[in-house]
Amino acid sequence: MSSQIRSIPEVPSGLVEAATRGTLVPFIGAGVSNIAGCPRWSEFADRALDSLVKSGALSAAQRSQLSTLSARVKLSVAKLTAERKGVEIDYRGILHPSKEWSSHPNGRRIYSHISALSSKFVTTNYDDWLDIALPTADLDIGDGRDRASESKRPEQRRTKLHLPSEITADNFLLSPQTVVHLHGALLDPSGMVLSTSDYIKRYANDRLRGDEEEEENRVLRFLEFLFREKTVLFLGYGLEELEILEYVIMKARATAGRQAKVARHYLLQGFFSFESEIFLSLKEYFLHECGIELVPFSRDEKDWAQLIDVLEAFAKALPVNNEMIVQELAEMEALARG
């Protein structure tokens, strides 16, 4: 097993096939939004606690005692403290500190490259970046066509699914541009998955047992559909966020059960050169335990900002999504199945 970590990794053939068929779904984590000016997961938790200190809901001494806890525990404490003290945490101000946040140059670059990969997206982020379908950046496709001339369009809003009741496969597929916020969104702070109890509730067993009326957990059913029918490309999950990603994947796999088809999914992950052994261990773990192929890129020169160049290269290499071709492929497969 090779431990080579390149600045621009080779695009896996499975991603090319998925893009051709229109089944590729980018799954976005906090690392992508961090490049766009938003705080990382751990920073987000710290800023939530800091805002409580500023409002007087938490003392500096209490804040110091919480400093060594995990990000999820910090957010649990922040949410419970805010509710108990009757104060509100300005999550929007934490995630989008500038009113001109959508003009962030690196943000526009990376999200325009992501827009070139698909028209359907899933995220565990709360921020608004994916809600905007940014015009595709100028890219030389290499076959004589100009992606810019085909894909330049006015900025538009994607259909945003963030309530558990609306996160379904049908809703996901219905709109030509869709983003699913698995853990809620800024427009509804009360529905954001922040505390440990929020996670447990969001990913609770999918049916009530006994004499109670059966009630479907739509989020789990959606994830089952996603991992069964689509090829997922995970982006922006650093080592500190993998706990969240693992939780989501494991819950979906448990719900799907043994009858689920095995789809091929990918995790684009940055490493420094000295982390080659960590890469090999994680590669084996994600492949065998999660059914995900780890695709590494080097952080040696640009750190996480290297992801912008990687996604630009992927956007150039992957075929432009043509809805008519995708529909023809689907019809041919349906005929083949009889």
pLDDT at 324: 44
The tokens 């565990």 sit on which residue?
124
DSSP structural state of residue 182: T
Domain boundaries, the chain: 13-38+103-337, 44-93
Under 8 Å between Cβ of 71 and 41: yes
Between these two residues, 52 and 327, which has the higher pLDDT value?
52
DSSP letter for each residue of 132-177: EEPPPPP-B-SSS-BHHHHH----EEPEEE-SGGG--HHHHHHSSS
pLDDT tens, residue by residue, 113-169:
999 999 999 999 999 999 999 887 645 444 444 444 444 556 689 999 999 999 999
Beta strand pairing call for 156-157 and 24-28: unpaired
pLDDT higher than 60, residue 2: no
Question: Model confidence at 328, in pLDDT bands (50, 70, 90)?
Answer: very low
CATH class of the domain comprising 13-38+103-337: alpha beta
Average pLDDT of the segment spanning 46-70: 96
Q: What pTM does this model have? A: 0.85
Closest CA to 184 of 94, 233, 124: 124
Task: State the Cα angle at 262 between 260 and 265, rounded to 5°.
Answer: 130
Average pLDDT of the segment spanning 238-266: 67
pLDDT tens, residue by residue, 82-122:
999 999 999 999 999 998 999 999 999 999 999 999 999 99
Rounded distance between C-alpha atoms, residue 232 and residue 228, angstroms:
10
Residue 243 phi/psi, 5-degree rounding, is: -60, -45
pLDDT at 256: 58
Closest CA to 20 of 233, 326, 278: 326
266 forms bridges with which residues in the sheet?
Answer: 233, 293
